[in-house]
Structure 1
Amino acid sequence: MNETAMADIALFLKRLQWGLVALAAGWLIWLLAPVLTPFVMAALLGWLGDPLVDRLQRAGRSRNVAVTLVFVAMALLMILVLALLVPVIEEQITTLIESLPHYRDWIMATALPWLEAKTGLQLTVWFDLNHLIELVRSNWERAGGVATTVLGYLSRSGFALIAWVANIVLLPVLTFFLLRDWDVFVERAASLVPRKHIDTVSQLAKESSDVLGGFLRGQLLVMVILGIMYGVGLWLVGLDLGILIGIVAGLLTFVPYLGPTSGVLFGVIAALVQYGDWKHVAGVLAVFGIGQVIESYWLTPKLVGDRIGLHPVAVIFAVLAGGQLFGFLGMLLALPVAAIANVLLRYAHQRYTHSKLYGGDKPEIVLDPHASPGGIIVPGEDKGADRA
């Protein structure tokens, strides 16, 4: 057996070994998913807060002081968001549950007959909204709201309650220590990379961080701002469910067209059910029209720009696939993994287009635009010598 064949076999075995390591790592993550969830959440928060800590350090503050300031700011922001949003969302969902009979009547008496007249299809026989709405209402009233539902589930399982409390206690502790020692962890990880690959790995890590940072920091700000704008705008129009519709539309804006489209659809239906006139429908359209102008010409270019590099389809698939494979932990890991995979795929494509497999090792024959019809040239040949 020649040396080339031996080298090919060695390369195959090496790749097989790394493939088995990756499968074992995935299996271990799947087993430890409930335990790893607070660690992953803390790592994401630490990664998001580290640039601000570094900026405060460059301004002259010590690492501990900078970490404390950022950690306190993040904790206060989280508490403020929960204190403001949870009661509002619960009230809005209660309003939605109480309004379901009106939506049922509007769908059965107005929307479906109009669609049947336009399409010629018998749609009413396919919808049993009475049973569905009564089921939702009875379950909600029996549960007593979001908080009661969550606490009731946890109280039925002592282990789940202990795990829930442990995760809540662990999350701020882990976040603080990861913020404090983030640069140390990065340096230790970099020290394990083989020296001949350190430049490539550093460049790929930087690109991955830029892609993920552009998505999370920029897009999250866009989602929050648009959610507030849509919610306040629909509330000013007079919709009882305006805040809930605005929040949903804001959360869905990470997928282009899906957020505003769903918001317009829900807002128009809510306006027709509540008021039944076109004046409020026009108000809904105006709110989302103004929001789209602000997003397209100011928010997205300024906060996100072209740093994302993640196609909306890839984002949706990553979140759904992560949730299916690893549950809530998979959904947390979906975007970081998708960002890194996107960078690695671009690097692999670049390597492929410069490889012999793509370009071949034979001289490339191309058409000579200056020659007579049918003339060709081979790179490396001297055309001047031929003409001579």
Structure 2
Amino acid sequence: MALPIQQQARIWAVIAAVTFVLLWLLGDVILPFLLGGALAYLLDPVADRLERLGLSRSWAVAVIALGAVLVFAAAVLLLIPTLIRQTSQLVQTAPELFSGLRDWLALRFPDLMDESSTIRGQLDAIGAAVQARGGEIINGLLSSAMGVINLLVLFVVVPVVAVYLLVDWDRMVARIDELLPREHAPTIRQLAREVDRTLASFVRGQGLVCLILGTYYAVALALVGLNFGLVIGALAGLVTFIPYVGALVGGVLAIGLALFQFWGDWIWIGAVAGIFVTGQMIEGNILTPRLVGSSVGLHPVWLLFALAVFGALFGFVGMLAAVPIAASLGVFARFAIDRYQHSALYRGSDPTPPLEASETIASGAAQDAGTASPEGAWRGN
């Protein structure tokens, strides 16, 4: 005999509350395991593809691990030192940039830039603060990050966790499927497929978009000779997952620096602006439609809200988990709305369910009926 719905709701509420408290208390302790699990989830489709090509699971994971080591070694040797050097130089050069801005304003708006002007005082204060605090802020961030993600975690624990989880991924999914409440198993599988589809479309797809655009911006800005182009390109690519924000932030910084560096040479200033316009066109017309798709349903405001909330609650761990949790909550919200539209509370005396919701449920039921393996039941691909 099934448990009453009220008792089931209480049990699941207690489980959710305990999980939330554990995440809040453990915080940084579970960070390497979250990172390892995220890496295993992201790389599982690659391992599945290698298995379909004839490799065993162990050999597939070994090939992935070797590739990851080579990529990481190349980044350490070639990219990361340059990023750190350019970031440090940008912090040291910032006062000169503010001084140039002050001189430019004084030349064109002399009334605003006299000795008693508020604008001049603010620019002087900002320049001095950046020079005095810039290095301190960077060192503080690095030392704080090392307190959470120390070298042992970065170079040993996370890869080891990822490898073990990746080897046993299919068995873990099958075991979780066996533990599902039988009454709710089809619904949970349907939700799991939707969550996986959303995460695959957004996290994997948008990650590729960020990587491609960041590389494009960095290389293009370096080719036109813009100082600190690599840092600006990396920053623009990093925040590209929020539509238009990456191009806006990177464009403002790049064009601002170009105005100081190429003042009077409008061809190069236009080239810098054209790089970001072209990047937006490539993202909107090619990369995002092909790699992310149009049915993810994650609004930029929702992402910003999730980053703010989970960052405030769980710190660095929350920031890392904000995007996948926001994607998952979006799936659950759509499921709850669908159930509400099929309830008597919404329909009243009208027995006809909404057409779109009926088609969605019928499609999910058909997928459940046609699914053979536990992993296939959880994955939409």
Q: TM-score, normalised by structure 2?
A: 0.82
Q: Name which structure has the greater RCO, CA cutoff 8 Å, separation 6+.
A: 2
Partner of 2:47: 53
Paired residues of 1:210 and 1:307 also in contact (CA < 8 A): no
Report 1:16-55 matches (<5 A).
Answer: 16-55=10-49
Paired residues of 2:95 and 2:130 also in contact (CA < 8 A): no
Partner of 1:99: 93
After superposition, the CA RMSD in angstroms is 2.9
Counting matched residue pairs gives: 345
**Residue 69 (str. 1) matches residue 63 (str. 2):** yes
Question: What percent identity do the matched residue pairs reach?
Answer: 37
Query: CA 1:117/1:190 → structure 2, altered by over 3 Å: closer, same or farther?
Result: farther
Match of 2:238, as an amino acid? L
Q: What is the rounded CA distance, in whole Å, between the counterparts of 2:85 and 2:250 in structure 1?
A: 19
Q: What is the rounded CA distance, in whole Å, between the counterparts of 1:114 and 1:206 in structure 2?
A: 60
CA drift at 1:111: 4.8
Paired residues of 2:203 and 2:324 also in contact (CA < 8 A): no
Q: What is the rounded CA distance, in whole Å, between the counterparts of 1:198 and 1:331 in structure 2?
A: 31
Tell me which moved more, 163-172 or 63-72.
Answer: 163-172
Counterpart among 215, 221, 237 of residue 224 in structure 2: 237
Q: What is the rounded CA distance, in whole Å, between the counterparts of 1:136 and 1:249 in structure 2?
A: 21
Q: Which runs of 5+ in 1 are unaligned?
A: 1-6, 365-388
Paired residues of 2:61 and 2:167 also in contact (CA < 8 A): yes
Q: What is the rounded CA distance, in whole Å, between the counterparts of 2:142 and 2:200 in structure 1?
A: 34
Partner of 1:381: none
Counterpart among 224, 241, 254 of residue 241 in structure 2: 254
Q: What is the rounded CA distance, in whole Å, between the counterparts of 1:154 and 1:353 in structure 2?
A: 46
Name which one, 1 or 2, has greater alpha-carbon Rg: 1
Counterpart among 131, 136, 140 of residue 137 in structure 1: 131
CA drift at 1:261: 1.6
Q: What is the rounded CA distance, in whole Å, between the counterparts of 2:93 and 2:158 in structure 1?
A: 38
Report 1:66-215 matches (<5 A).
Answer: 66-111=60-105, 124-125=118-119, 127-139=121-133, 160=147, 164-168=150-154, 169-215=156-202
Report 1:5-24 matches (<5 A).
Answer: 11-12=5-6, 14-24=8-18
Partner of 2:290: 302
**Residue 315 (str. 1) matches residue 303 (str. 2):** yes
Match of 2:161, as an amino acid? L
CA drift at 1:116: 10
Q: Does the residue aligned with 2:239 lie in a helix, a strand or coil?
A: helix
Query: CA 1:349/1:268 → structure 2, altered by over 3 Å: closer, same or farther?
Result: same
Match of 1:321, as an amino acid? V
Q: TM-score, normalised by structure 1?
A: 0.80
CA drift at 1:265: 1.2
Tell me which moved more, 229-238 or 80-89.
Answer: 80-89
CA drift at 1:178: 0.3
Partner of 1:361: 349
Paired residues of 2:99 and 2:127 also in contact (CA < 8 A): no
Match of 2:221, as an amino acid? L
Q: What is the rounded CA distance, in whole Å, between the counterparts of 1:100 and 1:242 in structure 2?
A: 15
Tell me which moved more, 245-254 or 44-53.
Answer: 245-254
Q: What is the rounded CA distance, in whole Å, between the counterparts of 1:218 and 1:362 in structure 2?
A: 41
CA drift at 1:281: 1.9
Tell me which moved more, 36-45 or 246-255.
Answer: 246-255
Q: Which runs of 5+ in 2 are unaligned?
A: 353-381
Q: What is the rounded CA distance, in whole Å, between the counterparts of 1:12 and 1:117 in structure 2?
A: 72
Q: What is the rounded CA distance, in whole Å, between the counterparts of 1:298 and 1:105 in structure 2?
A: 41
Query: CA 1:123/1:289 → structure 2, altered by over 3 Å: closer, same or farther?
Result: farther
Paired residues of 2:102 and 2:120 also in contact (CA < 8 A): no
